[in-house]
């Protein structure tokens, strides 16, 4: 569904998603990097547990919430991926004070 443009040559960075090593282009948002790697689900809803994923890619819909380096409720579409970043699926909504 998503693929990179072939004419772009950028440096790569590595990060993990749910413990799995994943590659991204430098300056990718976390959401773009996950979609390009084939990960369409980033969280589960607190009510039904339905899978959700990046939708608007501009910080409006909050469907892309993930846990980044142990901090929940991070908008993947507004966060630039960096080398060694640890990204995890978020289940439901984290309450204030639940950060690791």
Domains annotated for the chain, with CATH where assigned, are 12-91 (3.10.20.440)
pLDDT band at 5 (very low <50, low <70, confident <90, very high): confident
Query: What does the pLDDT read at residue 44?
Result: 92
CB 93 within 8 A of CB 46: yes
Q: Quick one: pLDDT band at residue 6, thresholds 50, 70, 90?
A: confident
3-state secondary structure of 22: strand
CA distance 66 to 63: 9
- The per-residue pLDDT for 96 is 64
- For the cut 60, the answer to whether the pLDDT of residue 99 exceeds it is no
Q: What is the mean pLDDT of the chain?
A: 90
The residue with tokens 């289940």 is: 91
Q: How many Cα atoms are found within 13 Å in the side-chain-facing hemisphere of 70? A: 3
């Amino acid at each position: 569904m998503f693929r990179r443009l072939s004419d772009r040559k950028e440096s790569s960075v590595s990060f993990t998603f749910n413990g799995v090593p994943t590659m991204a282009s430098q300056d990718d948002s976390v959401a773009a990097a996950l979609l390009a790697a084939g990960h369409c689900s980033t969280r589960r809803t607190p009510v039904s547990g339905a899978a959700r994923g990046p939708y608007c890619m501009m910080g409006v819909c909050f469907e892309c919430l993930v846990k980044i380096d142990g901090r929940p409720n991070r908008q993947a579409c507004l966060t630039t991926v960096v080398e060694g970043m640890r990204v995890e699926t978020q289940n439901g909504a984290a309450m204030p004070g639940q950060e690791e």
